[in-house]
Amino acid sequence: MQVRIIGAGPVGSYAGIQLSKEHDVTIYEQKKSLTIKHSGLFSTNLKNLYKPPKETILNKIKGAKIISPNGEFIEIGGSKTRALVTDTILFDKSLINKAKDKGVTIKTGKKINTVTKKDNRVLIDDDIKAQYLIDASGPNSVVRKSFGLKQLKTYTGIETIAKYPSYPEDSVEIYLGNNIAPNFFAWTIPLGDGRAKIGLITENNPAEYFKTFLKRLGVNKHEEVSGGIIPVDTAKDFIVNNRISLIGDAAAHTKATTGGGIVTGFESVNLLANELNKEEPDFNNYYNTWKKGVGKELNYHHRIRKFYNKLSDNDINELVKKAEEFKPIIEEHGDMDYPSHFLKPLMKNKEFLKLGLKHGFKLF
């Protein structure tokens, strides 16, 4: 089939790779040069989907220090590597180059404005025809606008790199609190060379919170600030019809707990590619398989976000303090991508259950 993809972000490029064997694939990218949106932190689950080239890996993360609004903290970790910190430019380039090596055409500097379906074909900007279109154009999706689909609720992520002492160099810091990053969190991610990525995600006034956060960390000098918007929303409308679907951030296949969307985006690509690589794709099968796997986990991420966003700073202080009691469960079962792995054992913990019930957290 002639498959056309809008957007050469990480998920669009990965879709190109996964479809290149069976299809004639072209990706349209509005930008002429690479711009990076993410921090490059991925759970080791990434390796089951895409093995990042060695030169892209800057650091390996074994744990996290979670800091509550009152400054108390808990350190969670162990000896296992749980996440990889990558060089974002090299990582995104590796995907684009792999797509090109597999025969995918990437047309940069080509902004797509409209998409329609005509005579069982897709018409892109009135002059490009395709048999199948994948919209990987991010949260401001072209197809969402063209087809009048739900506009996604988004938060904003903002980040920089600065010299920052991390102790130890294999542990991230997560700062919680309504004066730090309301309804989300701020972070430091050690790059392994005395520098760290420093950022936060929040719904409103990210630049102001960011300034205050940098001040709190004592960071005066830093590199250029980058970032972007992140869908924090549920959307079941990602299969538009038998010729068009959305993927990645355009589909809101993003984790509401961390804002990460690359592992979940890649997983969704694989499920879509499984169908598109068949002679007669069955989109119901794609949806049902997605719903039972990635969809179920994304749903848990949303429930956790909903639970967390009801907490006051005092509640967060209490939660972090009591977390010592369920730390062994998190260390054994914790997974950035699959909350189902730790939620079930966590819900059996008396202290967690009490807190959960207090804030109306229903898992099932």
Ligand X SMILES: Cc1cc2nc3c(=O)[nH]c(=O)nc-3n(C[C@H](O)[C@H](O)[C@H](O)COP(=O)(O)OP(=O)(O)OC[C@H]3O[C@@H](n4cnc5c(N)ncnc54)[C@H](O)[C@@H]3O)c2cc1C
The minimum distance between CB 254 and ligand X, in angstroms, equals 5
Cβ closer to ligand X: 4 or 65?
Answer: 4
Applying CB under 6 A, the residues found at the interface with ligand X are 6-12, 28-31, 37-42, 111-112, 136-138, 142, 157, 159, 199, 227-228, 230, 248-250, 254, 259-263, 265
Query: Which residues, 6+ apart, have CB-to-CB distance to 336 below 8 Å?
Result: 43, 45, 82, 83, 255, 258, 260, 263
The minimum distance between CB 40 and ligand X, in angstroms, equals 6
Cβ closer to ligand X: 93 or 321?
Answer: 93
Residue with token string 């109306």: 360
The minimum distance between CB 347 and ligand X, in angstroms, equals 26
Cβ closer to ligand X: 232 or 343?
Answer: 232
Cα separation, 145 vs 149, whole angstroms: 7
Residue with token string 């090299």: 90
Cβ closer to ligand X: 139 or 177?
Answer: 139
Cα separation, 147 vs 331, whole angstroms: 44
Residue 132 · residue 16 · CB < 8 Å: no
The minimum distance between CB 198 and ligand X, in angstroms, equals 11
The minimum distance between CB 207 and ligand X, in angstroms, equals 13
Cβ closer to ligand X: 252 or 329?
Answer: 252
Cβ closer to ligand X: 104 or 329?
Answer: 104
Cβ closer to ligand X: 151 or 349?
Answer: 151
The minimum distance between CB 68 and ligand X, in angstroms, equals 22
The minimum distance between CB 96 and ligand X, in angstroms, equals 10
The minimum distance between CB 125 and ligand X, in angstroms, equals 9
Cβ closer to ligand X: 2 or 30?
Answer: 30
* DSSP β-bridge partners for residue 159: 199, 226
